[in-house]
A = this chain, B = another copy of it.
Amino acid sequence: MTKAPSRARPKTVADVARAANVSKATAARVLGGYGVVSDTVRASVTAAAKALDYRPNELARSMTTGRSDIIGVVVGDIENPFFSLAVRGISDAAKAAGFNVILANSGEKIEAEKAAVRLLIGKRVDGLIVTPSESRDITHLRDIHRSGRPLALLDRALPELDVDTVTVDDREAAIRATRVLIDAGHRNIAYVTAVEGNGHEYFDLRQIYTSSVRERIDGFLAACRDAGIDRPERHVRLGATSFEETRRLADELLSSSERPTAILASDSVIALEILRAIRQRGMRIPDDISLITFHDADWTGVTTPPITVVDQPVYALGHTVAELLIRRLKGDIKPPERLVLRTAIINRGSVGPPPVMW
């Protein structure tokens, strides 16, 4: 085995200049490929750079060209297939326009989101795409915007931050999914969602600081009330933010005396855990309980029965938000756009009439 090389300080233009015995300005001209120098000088600077294993400092270069050609992306949870698919949409659009993408994860925590934004800004990305984890604390996002760096929001809107934003029709989607359950005869429907809350109880829309979550709860409640369902709020469950929390919450729901006959899950990670809890109790879908989830995740089509889903245009969401950002990077100064993409229900086999209670 060879020894690990000792940690060397990266070589700078000044090091190259010294080795080539020219001024720093001259070395910079050669290394940066601008200005006029003699062939002899060019040759000796190039040789020195090679000997020193000099690597152009991307930041210095970006300070000259004004561009790093990098888009920074901060997503909520890269392990959630929703986000990894959206990131593919972003990457494809970026690549097509000659941009690279670097990615940081917020874990849906506002402090981590701020740190990720600081990190990417510090790395002088040209622009940022963020899925804001909440709307209460957005100073860091305002700062990006104020600095003149384009910012675009993915999946979640911020009413108070007027930047390019691409979301889906969350309220409408929740209404449609809830109606599928109501039309099948359900009156006792639970909605389970991932937002952080004080406990799992829902009190008021004003306690929800993520636009997509709020819109969906609002849609769910509207559809229930429209069908004359009494106090639908009692079956909204917040805080499904980890496997453990989701499992606890599902167990609670399934063992309660007011057990719902149908569940609508706000994402496929939550739905999978609910499915496991349902099966572990020996309950059958849809005979004992119906289930619909947001996001057409890979597994939803291969379970028995396959799961009815709200199909979100996730790839398009990522692709579109990247295109909007790239337009800004190319100098477009039109007013910000707020695009809302359409979702659709894919009816599979997880919805049936409520069980007859004896």
- Which A residues contact B (CB, under 8 angstroms)? 1-10, 12, 53, 55-61, 63, 66, 70, 78-79, 81, 84-85, 87-88, 91, 100-105, 115-116, 119-124, 145-150, 162-163, 272, 275-276, 279, 298-299, 301-304, 328, 331, 333-336
Contact = CB atoms under 8 A, between A and B. Distances in A.
* Top 4 closest pairs, chain A to chain B, by CB: A58-B122, A299-B299, A8-B148, A59-B59
Nearest to A66: B9
Specify which of A60, A115, A123 lies most central, judged by the most chain B CB atoms within 10 Å of its CB. A123
Contacts of A100: 104, 115-116, 119
A79 to B, nearest CB: 5
Given A58-B122, A123-B102, A302-B299, A147 B8 contact: yes
Given A100-B104, A123-B102, A162-B2, A275 B299 contact: no
Contact of A298 (B91, B146, B272): B272
A81 B78 contact: no
A115 B279 CA distance: 46
Q: How many chain copies does the complex carry?
A: 2
A302 B328 contact: no
Contacts of A116: 100
A148 B6 contact: yes
A104 B103 contact: yes
A97 B302 CA distance: 40
25 contacts: A1-B335, A1-B336, A3-B335, A4-B163, A5-B145, A7-B149, A7-B150, A57-B122, A58-B119, A58-B123, A58-B124, A59-B60, A59-B124, A70-B119, A78-B78, A78-B84, A78-B87, A79-B87, A79-B88, A100-B104, A101-B104, A101-B105, A272-B299, A279-B302, A298-B299
A56 to B, nearest CB: 7
B4 A56 contact: no
Residue in A7, A105, A120, A147 whose Cβ sees the most chain B Cβ within 10 Å: A7
Contacts of A333: 3-4, 6
A100 B120 CA distance: 11
Contacts of A56: 122
A276 B162 CA distance: 44
Contacts of A299: 272, 298-299, 302-303
Given A78-B103, A101-B105, A299-B299, 4 more contacts: A4-B150, A58-B122, A78-B88, A304-B304
B85 A146 contact: no
A121 B103 CA distance: 15
A268 to B, nearest CB: 9
Interface centre among A1, A55, A100, A272 (most CB of B within 10 A): A100
Contact of A105 (B7, B79, B91): B91
A35 to B, nearest CB: 19
Contacts of A275: 302
A331 B299 CA distance: 44
